[in-house]
Structure 1
Amino acid sequence: MKHVYILFAIATSLAVLLLSGCGQHPVSYQKDVLPVLKANCFECHTPGGIGYEKSKLDMSTYDTLMKGTQFGPVVKPGDNLTSVLVMLIENRADSSIHMPYQRNLMSQPNIDTIKAWVAQGAKNN
């Protein structure tokens, strides 16, 4: 009977481990993140835009986004708490410079997409 309890405990633990990873699907840069950036960021953060001129942040490609600004990177793969990009779109960095600049805040689903992408390693997929 003791073996039955041990097997039950092991089976339950395995089920919990397997199901815990099922809640979050992999976020694709191309399919999920890029459309959000195009809709909310490209107007200012591409060459010629005011955001690009002030910070040198070009968000038009994965490589230029990951390069960051003249002040340093804006995305820390795996760390959505201290990534500057996430801090700015969540209005946590400085309320006077929330992004998108001089527009309504990004929708929560879009913020969640960016946060999940960063948390998952900010892959170019």
Structure 2
Amino acid sequence: MAVILLAGCYYDVEEELYPNNGCASTNPSYASNVLPIIEANCYACHKTGSVLSSVSLEGYEKLKAAAQNGSLLGSIKHASGYSPMPQSGAKLSDCNISIIESWINNGIPNN
């Protein structure tokens, strides 16, 4: 009785395992990446003068304050102890959350 063993090599292709999903979360810019997310998802309720919320995220300084005290990231991640935002809306995409989180981790630059 003969036994034939076939050995093969298997190589994972990095691009197939970790496709580039187009999320620019590595070094996000306030003006190019973060601000458009905030404008599209938060300004309806959180702009200066809004009657829907007493919290304004309009302008770099106000957004920076929310980022520094943890309320911005806690709310968009729906973390325990924070009001989940957007209220009555779908959670932001993982990519958008990652962009904002990376911006905060990079020191909240006004770029």
TM over 0.5: yes
Q: Which residue of 2 aligns with 1:63?
A: 61
The structure richer in helix per residue is: 1
Give structure 2 stretches of 5+ with no counterpart: 1-24
Q: How does 1:1-125 map to 2 (within 5 A)?
A: 25-49=26-50, 50-51=52-53, 53=54, 57-66=55-64, 68=65, 74-76=66-68, 83-94=70-81, 97-125=83-111
CA RMSD in angstroms comes to: 1.8
After superposition, the C-alpha distances for 1:47-72 in whole angstroms (9 at most, x for unaligned) are 23212x3xxx2212102222x4xxxx
Superposition misfits of 4+ residues, deviation over 3 angstroms: none
After superposition, the C-alpha distances for 1:74-103 in whole angstroms (9 at most, x for unaligned) are 212xxxxx72211110000347x3101111
Alignment: residue pair count? 86
Contact 1:84–1:93 under 8 Å retained in 2 = no
Contact 2:26–2:99 under 8 Å retained in 1 = no
Q: Which has the larger radius of gyration?
A: 2
Partner amino acid for 2:62?
Answer: T
Local SS of the residue matching 1:91 = coil
Give the structure, 1 or 2, with the largest relative contact order (CA under 8 Å, sep 6 or more): 2
Local SS of the residue matching 1:44 = helix
Query: What is the deviation of 1:106?
Result: 0.7
Partner amino acid for 2:57?
Answer: M
Partner amino acid for 1:86?
Answer: L
What TM-score comes out, normalization by structure 2 length? 0.69
Give structure 1 stretches of 5+ with no counterpart: 1-23, 69-73, 77-81
Contact 1:28–1:123 under 8 Å retained in 2 = yes
